[in-house]
Structure 1
């Protein structure tokens, strides 16, 4: 009976009610914090994807402006006709956004990571062969070797175009943008 009297005591009742509200407050606050964190993560994921779309789309649109096969044919023909002809290959920088966001790559959805990383690996391969094409070693090679390297360079750029289209499709699908056209008023770069 003494226990029942203790429960009925107003101080005990106040303590129970107070404890209940504190526990409910903790649960509710935890729920709000998790919800806020999910929203923040979603916003960050959208921001990263938007930035990657902008960078990849720029390079894909640029590559589409050139007929890579015709460029290859024209340059190789010039190289075959003149053994001393060495094409000028400009340096490129197509990974500025990706390099800045590499630490945030984990926020991307899984179906997006593979095509995006594959595209940027291809961009890095293009950058590496450009360095080789601009090197003294390239100048010292015979023309057959230089033609082979230049052919590899064009093939790497063609693959970068294909991988860029794939990455754009994945990013646009993930962001719900479908086949949104570029802000430059051209046909969407991820469509043939």
Structure 2
């Protein structure tokens, strides 16, 4: 073996290592997690160690010869640090994947539950049409009391409420707003099913039913918005959901005659 061959082997190994590092840091769905862990390792561990130990050792090495055992210990420490870094990367990647899978599962379940309720609500026009006919009957017959079915469209939400923090900021506000409206409707429906509702005058019953209808329409709007955000997040991630939020906010501001940033 010539003197140049060992250097060629080391150069080839170095290039291969750099290529592998580049793939780990910039390719694949977990590249962002790897970069974040590497940055944390460099600035929280490697840099302080270099400042505390590295600089004194460099100064000492320039004045006296260090024993081979000390260099061996330094190399061993570097290997241990690299092992820690590798373990941390794979551990965090595993946690990131688990969080992503849980988020997808929650979004799918919530999307299905909201979608099922939206299908029963039809549209705002259909709700208005049905309510108009029912209120007309109530006005024509003072003794007529409409039948109000039980409202319980939040089984999935109640099941995941203790772990709702896994939802991203882009969808959690819309989801919570929708289910808050659903629970308010459920409470009002329960009141309208009670005996006290039957003893009210027809005008008061009509007023309560009108509020009930408006709350249904608001739930339809909230649910449509929430499912749109979930779908956007599933298709394009956080950037797509943020873009939809900005678009909806701009349209709402335009309808109210204000600029998006005005008070």
TM-score (norm 1): 0.84
Post-superposition shift, 1:12? 4.6
| Higher relative contact order (Cα pairs below 8 Å, separated by 6+ residues) | 1
Question: Relative to 1, partners in 2 of residues 1:114 and 1:26: Cα closer, same or farther, differing over 3 Å?
Answer: same
- Pick the aligned partner of 1:7 from 52, 61, 67: 67
Match of 1:189 in 2: none
Structure 1 CA distance for aligned equivalents of residues 220 and 209 of structure 2? 17
Post-superposition shift, 1:71? 1.3
Post-superposition shift, 1:20? 2.3
Query: When the two structures are aligned, how many residues end up with a matched partner?
Result: 175
Structure 1 CA distance for aligned equivalents of residues 72 and 177 of structure 2? 62
Whichever of the two has the greater Rg, that structure is 2
Which SS does the other structure have where 1:67 is aligned? helix
Structure 2 CA distance for aligned equivalents of residues 46 and 164 of structure 1? 18
Structure 1 CA distance for aligned equivalents of residues 202 and 138 of structure 2? 7
Structure with a larger share of its residues in helix:
2
Runs of 4+, deviation exceeding 2 Å: 11-20
Match of 2:158 in 1: 99
Structure 1 CA distance for aligned equivalents of residues 215 and 170 of structure 2? 23
Q: Does 2:113 match 1:55?
A: yes
Match of 2:192 in 1: 133
Q: Deviations over 1:33-75 (max 9, x none)?
A: 1121111111111111111101001001111179211211111
Post-superposition shift, 1:176? 1.0
Q: Which moved more, 1:148-157 or 1:17-26?
A: 17-26
Which SS does the other structure have where 1:85 is aligned? coil
Post-superposition shift, 1:13? 4.9
Question: Relative to 1, partners in 2 of residues 1:177 and 1:24: Cα closer, same or farther, differing over 3 Å?
Answer: closer
- Please list, as runs of the form range in 1=range in 2, the aligned pairs for 1:8-157 lying within 5 A after superposition: 8=68, 11-64=69-122, 67-157=126-216
Question: Relative to 1, partners in 2 of residues 1:135 and 1:45: Cα closer, same or farther, differing over 3 Å?
Answer: same
Structure 1 CA distance for aligned equivalents of residues 180 and 222 of structure 2? 10
Post-superposition shift, 1:177? 7.6
Structure 2 CA distance for aligned equivalents of residues 49 and 146 of structure 1? 38
Post-superposition shift, 1:18? 2.8
Structure 2 CA distance for aligned equivalents of residues 142 and 152 of structure 1? 16
